[in-house]
Amino acid sequence: MSTLPVIAAVDGSDDSLRALDWALDAARARRAPLRVVHVRQYAAWAQPDVLVAGPPEPDEDAVLEQVRARLAEVADRPVLEYLALEGAPAAVLPELGSTAQLLVLGSRGRGGFASLLLGSNGMAAARDAECPVVVVPRPGRAVEATVPAEPGPRVVVGLQADSPDETTLAFAFAEAALRGARLQVVTAYQWPLQTWAMPGELVPVMVDQDAVEGETRTLAEGFLAPHRKHHPDVRVDLYVAPGDAAGHLVGASQDAELVVVGRHRRRLLAPARMMGSVTQAVLLHAVSPVAVVPPESVEA
Share of the chain above pLDDT 90, in %: 60
Q: Is 101 exposed, middle or buried (0-12, 13-18, 19+ CB in 10 A)?
A: middle
CA distance 68 to 57: 17
Query: What type of residue is 182?
Result: R
CA distance 93 to 79: 21
Give buried/exposed letters for 143-155 (b at 16+ CB in 10 A, else e). eeeebebeeeebb
Give buried/exposed letters for 209-238 (b at 16+ CB in 10 A, else e). eeebbeebbebbbebbeebeeebeebebee
What are residue 36's phi and psi, to 5 degrees? -100, 120
Q: What is the pLDDT of residues 6-65, one digit of tens each?
A: 999 999 999 999 999 999 999 999 999 999 999 987 644 444 444 444 455 546 799 999
Do 6-136 and 154-293 fold alike per CATH? yes
Give bridge partners of residue 133 from the DSSP assignment. 103, 292
Contact in structure between 178 and 6 (CB atoms under 8 Å): no
Confidence (pLDDT) at 142: 82
Residue 295: half-sphere exposure toward Cβ, Cα within 13 Å:
16
Superfamily of the domain at 6-136: HUPs (3.40.50.620)
What are residue 265's phi and psi, to 5 degrees? -80, 145
CA distance 233 to 256: 19
Q: What is the pLDDT of residues 202-242, one digit of tens each?
A: 555 556 888 889 999 999 999 999 999 999 999 999 999 99
Residue-range domain boundaries for the chain: 6-136, 154-293
Give bridge partners of residue 241 from the DSSP assignment. 188
Choice between 2 and 20, residue whose per-residue pLDDT is larger: 20
Contact in structure between 224 and 236 (CB atoms under 8 Å): yes
Secondary-structure class of domain 154-293 per CATH: alpha beta
**Residue 136: pLDDT over 90:** yes
Prediction pTM value: 0.85
**Residue 271: pLDDT over 50:** no
Give bridge partners of residue 290 from the DSSP assignment. 135, 259
Q: What is the pLDDT of residues 96-128, one digit of tens each?
A: 999 999 999 998 755 544 445 567 888 889 999
